[in-house]
Amino acid sequence: MFRIKAIYQEQFEFDAGIDRVREFFSELRNFVELMPNIESIKKDANGVIRWVVRADIPVVGALREGFLLEQTENEPDRIEWSPAKVEQKNYMRYAASFIEESATKTIVKMTQQVELRRQNAKDLHRLASLVGENKISTEMQKRVNEMIKTFLKRARTRIEGLK
């Protein structure tokens, strides 16, 4: 099995109330608008959403993948989307936990995990076996970090600018 993995975890504080912050992170449209390389997020009639993500990986080139997710948690202090039961190759998990520090300060703990699984490297890309799992995972980790850091910077502007 050929596996490419990336994970992002961070805790950060927003100068806004928990309701505003939670509402922002619950709205999938914000990810499409503010996170680079997210081409689309669409929800079907069964509640399954499909994230289409594009990432440029050196040597391999552009990878464009779809991820099927189902909401597995929707509580006042936590949201989580996990791979849909039908997903076989592209796994993504997104979770955000919210801690109210005060009426105007909220801490968010965010995790995003991505894993691409293929029976053979060539099933991912014709050059993947030459580059290898570790190199592609390292490059994908860099892209995921860049995407989420840009998203969080833009999120801060949008959330805190709504006061």
Domains, the chain, with CATH or none: 2-160 (3.30.530.20)
- Distance CA(86)–CA(68), nearest Å, equals 8
Q: Is 142 helix (H, G, I), strand (E, B) or coil?
A: helix
Instruction: Please check whether residue 38 is in contact with residue 31, taking contact to mean a CB–CB distance below 8 angstroms.
Output: yes
Give pLDDT tens digits for 35-79: 999 999 998 888 899 999 987 776 677 778 899 999 999 999 999
Q: Which of 104, 85, 108, 107 is nearest to 96 (CA)?
A: 108
Q: Is the pTM of this model over 0.95?
A: no
Residue 95 CB contacts under 8 Å (≥ 6 apart), including other chains: 73, 78, 79, 80, 81, 110, 111, 112
Tokens linked to 114: 């991505």
Calculate the alpha carbon distances from 113 to 18, 42, 66, 92 in Å.
Answer: 24, 19, 14, 5
pLDDT at 108 over 60: yes
Position 47: which residue type? Answer: G
pLDDT at 97 over 60: yes
Q: What was the pLDDT predicted at 32?
A: 94
pLDDT at 26 over 80: yes
Q: How confident is the model at residue 131 (pLDDT cuts 50, 70, 90)?
A: confident
Residue 102 CB contacts under 8 Å (≥ 6 apart), including other chains: none
- Distance CA(2)–CA(137), nearest Å, equals 11
Of 30-39, 45-54, 100-109, 118-127, the least confident: 118-127
- Distance CA(2)–CA(123), nearest Å, equals 9
Position 109: which residue type? Answer: K
Q: How confident is the model at residue 126 (pLDDT cuts 50, 70, 90)?
A: confident
pLDDT at 118 over 60: yes
- β-pairing verdict for 105-118 and 49-57: unpaired
pLDDT at 16 over 70: yes
